[in-house]
Structure 1
Amino acid sequence: MMSTHEKTSRRILILSTFGMALAFTVWASLSPLANQFEALYGLTATEKSILVAVPVLLGSIMRVPAGILADRYGGRKTFTFLLLFTVIPLLGVGFSTSFYSLLFWALLLGVAGASFAVSITFVSKWTPSEKQGTALGINGLGNFGTALAGFTLPTIALLVGLQWTFWVLIIPVVIMAALMWFWTPETPQTGEKKTLLGSLSVLKFRNTWTLSLFYFVTFGAFVAFGIYLPTLLMDLYALSAVDAGMRAAGFVVVATISRPLGGYLGDKIGAGKVLTVVFLSIALGALIISFGMASIIVMTFACLLVAAVTGVGNGAVFKLVPQLFPKATGAVTGLVGAAGGLGGFFPPILLGSIRDITGTYTLGFLCLALLSILCLIINKRQFDKSTSRSFVEANA
């Protein structure tokens, strides 16, 4: 029979995962509808790219203060406030009458992406250390909200119109905020509350920067592929937008489903060993894409390989975060999560620039392979060792 704490922990895990999935649907809501906004406002390709990128950028940056707030005030208050705040930009997008007003609300819509840091912090605080990898891996399934936006919002827009698509999202957001407030307990405070400067003191530890680099690669690749793969596939193989979009959604689904496996394996054999395989596989996948992208079959295999291992890598990285920083999980989660989000923001721009300059994407994927090899070397030196122990940083 489960204890009261175990029941509470499970309830928090379930609600936080669904809450993050819903928030990620809101966060990614503009991307699948970008073509309709292009037609509505006569946007250029650059303006459309900016519209899609703005929420990603702010959502990444906002993970830092969101994680700190979750540490300071608890997951229940922070998550509820974040969900209710997203109602404002959802209303605003529906009332927009120009590109610039839409861009303003798109910026605020990015706050929904910060739900990742809040959810991870909330779940980790209520989960025993020996089960955190598995629990946080399951919690990471909330990333599926990105694919959910692509699967559902275009159809909703056809049924109720572009304006009402965003207003319809308000209903589940408010319901989820109520569930979070009334059905989850507040996180017990341990020790004195840290100031903002105190929370950011984790930046002085090497492990903070190492985990940020790792997540920049694993989660960054997940986001970058999810965002840019439709454009890449249409350019390389002249696929239709629907076909390319479905293939990209498949990438997101594979990466999301494999994330819990990374956390589970991190619990069982150690996150360091898991990350060694992950970075080797990402490097291999990137090399296969670099030299084999002429074939859609080879490209499909390589992309699915990268999807699976980036998902596993995301889970493994967040096995290490609460393990190394049990007293500053929110702050480190925010910083690492921000690095991952930024890792998804810059590669599409880099790939597009390389394509314009060289005529191919090869150099961009070679950069991914080299960065993965760098992470592999660092991981072998820091985390993939025969014995594991707590670090001094754990008391940060």
Structure 2
Amino acid sequence: MDRRSVAGAGAEVDSRHRRTGSPWVMLAVATVGFAVNFWAWALLSPLGPLFRTEGTLGRLSESDVALLVAVPVVVGSLGRIPVGALTDRYGGRLMFPLVSAATIVPILFIGFFALDSYAALLIGGFFLGIGGTTFAVGVPFVNAWFPPQRRGLAVGVFGTGMGGTAISALTTVTLYSNAGHRIPFLITAAALAAYAVVAWLVLRDAPGRASAQGSLISRLVANARLPISWQACILYAVAFGGYVAFSVYLPSYLKTAYDLSAADAANRMAGFVVIAVLMRPAGGWLSDRFGPIPVLAGCYAVVVVGAAIAATTPLLEHVGTVAFLSMAAALGGGSGATFALVAKVTDPARVGGVTGLVGAAGGLGGFVPPLIMGYVYGRTQSYGIGLTLLSITAAFTLLLTVTVVRRTANSIARTGQAISEEPA
């Protein structure tokens, strides 16, 4: 397909969109929904330390609290696989309000029935993971509303909704301690209910959206067999997984390695998160302009260098800060570029299914680095080995990007159509 054909197709899409709704309104509403659902998804994480010290749940160990916090994250990550496939079939207009409304149930269960029972909290946390699946709803929904040359930016902007976890971090403990234990859950449930109504009234699936056919299982298997699926899973496990790992583990690392106060370490972690979130749409925009492969390669190269420097535990106020903030920008940009690549080389009717697989890999990828860092530090009293392993992993991912992934992207560019069939 030549440039004039692509431009013509984009103009035709824009014309249809003007008649049926604004893509930017759809993007804005979807991004708000992503943020609200991620706010709900992250409710238990800030309360973990309080559950251990307050005593209302008995004597909880650190591993008990870790399990409680991990359950909704794991369920939300794995749940993206079927939810993405369902979005391909039924569309985001149905799935956004449905997932938002479904998330209200575990929130109210936790707020009214589970705060005095560890077992009940685990059950509530399991179903709270539903909120984390909205990522796999939004990417195919937004992708269908924009022409190919704008999809990287659009999906990147949608990805900033992951900042909803910051709302939970900033408000949950304060509300829980000062306004009442049920208040943060009631407020979040009300926000989800309001959003579900707005989404049902405002959201519309893009005109001409192709609904995926076949059974859920057959589509999941077919999507898993696509070359782009496993390639993007690796890319996203390193990029977004690295972001998740640092956002979880960075305060502990800074407190131990640099003897910072808990407040100072938390503030520096917040700066890391903000830069990563802001760079996500930038990564998508740069991918639209220069192609996702060069952007991904540049981002992983920065992580290789930044992690290698951080492994030496340099002075934090100078070299160390630059190294960590550079990695934040690279991990955020790489996350945005990964889904720009998915949008570029995947058949639109299968973007949701592939997104579910890739999103699950990214969420689960965030659990491995903290475990390795903690294990290695406990036996060597050094974080250098763990950061060196991150640098090596990023180097292998860089090599994969410029070889295998590049060949996949170039193959699609030559044929002029996205991958729509599983390999023989």
TM-score calculated relative to the size of structure 2: 0.88
Confirm or deny that 1:248 pairs with 2:269: yes
Assess, with a 3 A threshold, how the Cα gap between structure 1 residues 143 and 192 changes in structure 2: closer, same or farther.
closer
- 1:113 alignment counterpart: 132
Q: Does the 8 Å CA contact 1:138/1:260 hold for their aligned counterparts?
A: yes
Q: Write the distance in 2 (CA, Å) between the matches of 1:138 and 1:389.
A: 28
1:259-338 equivalent positions in 2, closer than 5 A: 259-293=280-314, 295=316, 297-326=318-347, 327-338=349-360
| CA apart distance, 1:277 | 0.4
| CA apart distance, 1:299 | 2.8
| CA apart distance, 1:155 | 2.4
**Which AA in structure 2 matches 1:22?**
V
Deviates more, 1:233-242 or 1:243-252: 233-242
Q: Does the 8 Å CA contact 1:223/1:344 hold for their aligned counterparts?
A: yes
Q: 1:196 aligns with which of 216, 231, 245?
A: 216
| CA apart distance, 1:148 | 2.0
| CA apart distance, 1:149 | 1.6
Confirm or deny that 1:5 pairs with 2:17: yes
- 1:92 alignment counterpart: 109
Q: Does the 8 Å CA contact 1:27/1:110 hold for their aligned counterparts?
A: yes
Confirm or deny that 1:49 pairs with 2:66: yes
Q: Deviations over 1:20-41 (max 9, x none)?
A: 0111111112112211111232
- 2:279 alignment counterpart: 258
- Uncovered stretches (5+) of structure 2, i.e. residues with no partner: 1-13
Assess, with a 3 A threshold, how the Cα gap between structure 1 residues 392 and 11 changes in structure 2: closer, same or farther.
closer
Confirm or deny that 1:79 pairs with 2:96: yes
Q: Give SS of 1:185's match.
A: coil
**Which AA in structure 2 matches 1:194?**
G
**Greater Cα radius of gyration, structure 1 or 2:** 2
- Uncovered stretches (5+) of structure 1, i.e. residues with no partner: none
Q: 1:153 aligns with which of 164, 172, 175?
A: 172
Q: Write the distance in 1 (CA, Å) between the matches of 2:414 and 2:365.
A: 29
Q: Give SS of 1:292's match.
A: coil
Q: Does the 8 Å CA contact 1:21/1:142 hold for their aligned counterparts?
A: yes
Q: 1:58 aligns with which of 56, 72, 75?
A: 75
Q: Does the 8 Å CA contact 1:323/1:394 hold for their aligned counterparts?
A: no
Deviates more, 1:337-346 or 1:178-187: 178-187
Assess, with a 3 A threshold, how the Cα gap between structure 1 residues 391 and 99 changes in structure 2: closer, same or farther.
farther
Q: Does the 8 Å CA contact 1:323/1:390 hold for their aligned counterparts?
A: no
Deviates more, 1:378-387 or 1:260-269: 378-387
| CA apart distance, 1:3 | 5.0
Deviates more, 1:183-192 or 1:296-305: 183-192
- 1:367 alignment counterpart: 389
- 2:5 alignment counterpart: none
| CA apart distance, 1:239 | 2.7
Deviates more, 1:265-274 or 1:290-299: 290-299
Q: 1:345 aligns with which of 367, 377, 384?
A: 367
CA RMSD across the alignment: 2.0
Q: Write the distance in 2 (CA, Å) between the matches of 1:74 and 1:377.
A: 36
Q: Write the distance in 1 (CA, Å) between the matches of 2:316 and 2:162.
A: 29
Deviates more, 1:111-120 or 1:150-159: 150-159
Q: Give SS of 2:230's match.
A: helix
**Count of residue pairs the alignment pairs up:** 396
Assess, with a 3 A threshold, how the Cα gap between structure 1 residues 155 and 265 changes in structure 2: closer, same or farther.
same
Q: Write the distance in 2 (CA, Å) between the matches of 1:384 and 1:182.
A: 41
| CA apart distance, 1:189 | 4.7
Q: Deviations over 1:23-82 (max 9, x none)?
A: 111111211221111123232111111111111111110110110011011101111111
Confirm or deny that 1:379 pairs with 2:401: yes
Q: Write the distance in 1 (CA, Å) between the matches of 2:93 and 2:167.
A: 24
- 1:175 alignment counterpart: 194
**Which AA in structure 2 matches 1:381?**
T
Q: Write the distance in 2 (CA, Å) between the matches of 1:9 and 1:194.
A: 28
Q: Write the distance in 1 (CA, Å) between the matches of 2:105 and 2:173.
A: 21
| CA apart distance, 1:160 | 1.2
Assess, with a 3 A threshold, how the Cα gap between structure 1 residues 332 and 362 changes in structure 2: closer, same or farther.
same
Assess, with a 3 A threshold, how the Cα gap between structure 1 residues 8 and 194 changes in structure 2: closer, same or farther.
farther
Q: Deviations over 1:71-114 (max 9, x none)?
A: 01110111111101111111122121211111111111111111
**Which AA in structure 2 matches 1:252?**
V
- 1:103 alignment counterpart: 122
Q: Deviations over 1:268-322 (max 9, x none)?
A: 1100010110110011111111112564543322211111011110111101112
Q: Write the distance in 2 (CA, Å) between the matches of 1:191 and 1:44.
A: 48
Q: Does the 8 Å CA contact 2:80/2:134 hold for their aligned counterparts?
A: yes
Q: Write the distance in 2 (CA, Å) between the matches of 1:391 and 1:225.
A: 38
